[in-house]
Amino acid sequence: MSSALAPGIRLLTSFSRDSWYRSFILLLTFLFYTAYHLSRKPISIVKSELHRNCSTVIRPADLNITNNATWCDWAPFGKYNYQALFGVLDNCFLVAYAIGMFFSGIFGERLPLRYYLSVGMLSSGLFTSLFGLGFYWNIHSLGYYAFIQVMNGLVQTTGWPAVVACVGNWFGKGKRGFIMGVWNSHTSVGNILGSLIAGVFVSSAWGMSFIVPGIIIASTGILCFFFLVESEFLLITDTSTPHSTGGQHTHFCPGSCLHGEAEPLLQNHAVNTSNGAISTEPQEVVEDHTEAISFCGALSIPGVVEFSLCLLFAKLVSYTFLYWLPLYISNVAHFEAKEAGDMSTLFDVGGIMGGIMAGLVSDYTGGRATTCCIMLIAACPFYFYLYAGMLLVCGGLVNGPYALITTAVSADLGTHESLRGNSRALSTVTAIIDGTGSIGAALGPLLAGLISPTGWNNVFYMLITADILACLVRNTTFSFLTSL
């Protein structure tokens, strides 16, 4: 009597080769953008070390202390206006990121994404490490750190449009909110890992808080060069050559039809039957000869303008927490830099759950805009109670809408029916939405740096105003555009 096939092997062989490729691409792009966010996080952890609470430190009597500086800080951040200086660093990165994002999508539509991502991650690793090397080279010039932040902001724009385009090329619309909600947890995972890695070194040698993340993102750039397949068509073209299959063509069904989704992502890859249904028979994919969409053409897609403006305010809130939460915890709870950084990760853990929940709810209800508005308004009362469990709840409500707009909504709009099957708009649409959102990401930390000296409650009032504006802008802009 022969034994049955082992359950584990039966499970492994139940997946088609296309499913394995799709899972592999999902994992790769997850790692890539985790590394992007991991390299952005150290600056928020190191702030409290660059300007320390020197009142608890005994000053040597023979040191000459000026009114604008304290002896235990890292110049030039030892001045009384240190919060404004930190705001300058934040905005050097964020303004450069916002400006560069509008061009990044255009490049992403026209360049091989594998090369584009690889160069972007290697460059980001270089500039992140250069910021940390300022510690070992004993550099105290604000101009040096500001220049590094500007360059890092520009090269980091290579990440988001490219990874969203890659995932969009492999996954259809049926369960996009849930899939991208889970996948988008890379943002919070990167923030958590960045906080933990930076926290290990911040009190002893803060330069390593940047150098280690820089090495990590550079390593993922090398991984991208050797393993990323940016679309199904490239895989089919390569495996259909005579030298690889002995002259036999290898055909793959597009990923959307394998999963029975009613509306595949790449419309020109779908085959319609006589009754209008999507055929589930394997079809050879033909090359997409459509031209990349123009910037103005992408703006004319219904929903792009209003969701871009909505993300501007939603991202303002999210990035204010990203850059200022550890310092807030350190100032209010009087934690050390490492302890404040560790506690701030609760906000990002909540963000993971919020992104998944927002995707599930929007898939079930079909109301992506409604989901965003409800979560943003519900977050407002929690801003004044940022302790332990409240950080989890607040993180979920703040990052859920941000994650939904930058992933599922962007992918939906990038494959809108008005495009008539043109699949090459995804990167440009994603860049426009995220680029507009990045303007808010630049404004949030800047405003926090200017307002925080007057009291943290005033910062929270600013965030509540931004949440309300995000909902109002989405609805009023939509009503205005539909009336034209």
Could you tell me the mean pLDDT of each successive run of 10 residues in the chain, 484 residues long? 64 70 89 94 87 55 45 76 84 89 80 91 97 94 94 93 82 65 85 90 91 96 92 60 44 41 37 39 43 72 85 90 85 81 87 88 83 90 80 89 82 64 66 86 86 89 92 64 44
277: Cα separation from own chain's centroid: 35
Helix (H) or strand (E) holding 132, with range, is helix 113-136
pLDDT at 173: 56
Q: What is the pTM of this model?
A: 0.72
Identify whether the C-beta of residue 182 lies closer than 8 Å to the C-beta of residue 94: no
Q: Which of 307, 305, 405, 287 is nearest to 354 (CA)?
A: 405
**Six token digits for residue 89:** 């660093």
- Domain ranges for the chain, please list them: 17-53+73-232+298-483
Taking only Cα atoms into account, the Rg of the chain, rounded to an integer number of angstroms, comes to: 24
Residues in the chain: 484
* pLDDT value of position 280: 38
Which secondary structure element, helix H or strand E, spans residue 241, and what is its range? Answer: none
From residue 200, give the alpha-carbon distance in Å to each of 166, 181, 196, 335, 341: 34, 30, 6, 15, 10
| Cβ neighbours for 352, distance < 8 A, ≥ 6 positions apart | 185, 188, 189
Q: Which residue has the tokens 């925080």?
A: 452
Separation in Å, CA 149 to CA 59, 93, 359: 32, 5, 32
pLDDT at 87: 82
Q: Closest by alpha carbon to 213, among 35, 30, 342?
A: 35
For the chain, the distance separating the N- and C-terminal CA atoms, rounded to the nearest angstrom, is 75
Tokens of 125: 């690793």
Count CB atoms within 10 A of the CB of residue 334. 11
Report the CATH architecture of 17-53+73-232+298-483. Up-down Bundle (1.20)
